[in-house]
Amino acid sequence: MTTTTQKLETSEADLVYDVRGPLPTAGGRPPLVMIGQPMDASGFGALASYFPDRTVITYDPRGLGRSARKDGRVDHVPETQAADVHAVIEALGAGPVEMFASSGGAVTALALVAAYPGDVTTLVAHEPPLFTVLPDAEAAERAFAGVRDAYEARGWGAGMAAFIAMTSWQGEFTDDYFAQPAPDPAAFGMPAEDDGTRQDPLLSDRSRAVSGHRPDTGALTAAPTRVVIAVGEETRDALTARTSVAMAALLGRQPAVFPSHHGGFLDGRFGPAGQPEAFARRLREVLDAG
């Protein structure tokens, strides 16, 4: 499959995206767009490889990967990123598209469907980390504040260890969670040394608007888009499983269960390996059911 890299220059960002396959598409199916946040296009290589019959589009959100910002900001806002994805879809000239969106990208995609309902025919939103839909939303925010504080005080290793502890906690964030000692970075294979940087989009406040996004459920249910909230079977009752179940309930439906965990489509080059082949098979089933 031939891959071409293109750049869409706007007044606020230069958005870089990759096109695998022909445009116009072959076989009458729309393009399949895959988006993440803070993951950029490089994280979708394994998943895209299981769709050789489809034209697959991946992109780097503004300020991440190859997409340079020109707006003078460092924060990541779902509505802004949704407008960027809309601009890319328009530039493709092949919409409406099918979309798989993961983690913060799933939050972007929900904002996209709410604002631009004609852009997407089917959205599979995999484990959107929406703290706002949880019954213990305040506690979830407090838990993330602990991650941010660990990162700001002791650097990336301490922050990532705290993040793993937070995202692997099962159930609501209770007093037992907050009574735990700070996790040791070495226990997770993380460096204890502080390199002095504080720009990580996952551990800093730069992506706070992502978990703090309040989805427009009225617009989502009114849109012609088929919205499928997906959850990994191995995520069990951890944070992003709970946000997925709660988001699906707000839309009046059950989540679709996918193989593996939050990064179930990864092959091990970007975070813990999932089950990309089984994940792709399930994604194809869900897309074809529409």
pLDDT tens for 107-159 read 999 999 999 999 999 999 999 999 999 999 999 999 999 999 999 999 999 99
Q: Is the pLDDT of residue 270 over 80?
A: no
Domain co-membership, 184 together with 236: no
Domain co-membership, 50 together with 108: yes
Buried b or exposed e, range 86-123, using 16+ CB within 10 angstroms = bbbbeebebbbbbbbbbbbbbbbbbbbbbbbeebbbbb
Chain segment 177-226, per-residue pLDDT in tens? 999 999 999 999 999 999 999 999 999 999 999 999 999 999 999 999 99
Q: Is the pLDDT of residue 175 over 80?
A: yes
Give the start-end residues of each E strand in 21-176.
32-35, 56-59, 68-69, 97-102, 120-126
Domain co-membership, 146 together with 75: no
Q: Is the pLDDT of residue 4 over 80?
A: yes
For residue 164, what are its two tokens?
């793993």
What is the residue type of 87?
A
Domain co-membership, 194 together with 223: no
Q: What is the pTM of this model?
A: 0.97
For residue 57, what are its two tokens?
């589009």
Domain co-membership, 61 together with 120: yes
CB 14 within 8 Å of CB 7: yes
pLDDT given for residue 27 in this prediction: 82
Helices (H) then strands (E): counts for the chain: 10, 9
pLDDT given for residue 268 in this prediction: 83
Domain finish residue from 172, 204, 236:
204
Domain finish residue from 164, 179, 204:
204
Q: How many CB atoms lie within 10 A of CB 209?
A: 17
Query: By percentage, how much of the chain surpasses pLDDT 70?
Result: 100
Domain co-membership, 69 together with 153: no
Domain finish residue from 204, 235, 253:
204
Domain co-membership, 112 together with 256: yes
CATH code for the domain in which residue 41 is found: 3.40.50.1820
Confidence of residue 290 (pLDDT cuts 50, 70, 90): confident
Domain co-membership, 199 together with 102: no
Domain count, the chain: 2
Chain segment 232-268, per-residue pLDDT in tens? 999 999 999 999 999 999 999 999 999 999 999 999 8
How, if at all, do strands 226-232 and 120-126 pair? Answer: parallel
CB 76 within 8 Å of CB 37: yes
Domain co-membership, 89 together with 116: yes
Q: Is the pLDDT of residue 26 over 90?
A: no
Q: Is the pLDDT of residue 271 over 80?
A: no
Domain co-membership, 105 together with 246: yes
Domain co-membership, 115 together with 242: yes
Q: Which domain holds residue 244?
A: 3-130+213-288
Q: Is the pLDDT of residue 90 over 80?
A: yes
Domain co-membership, 113 together with 218: yes
CB 256 within 8 Å of CB 124: yes
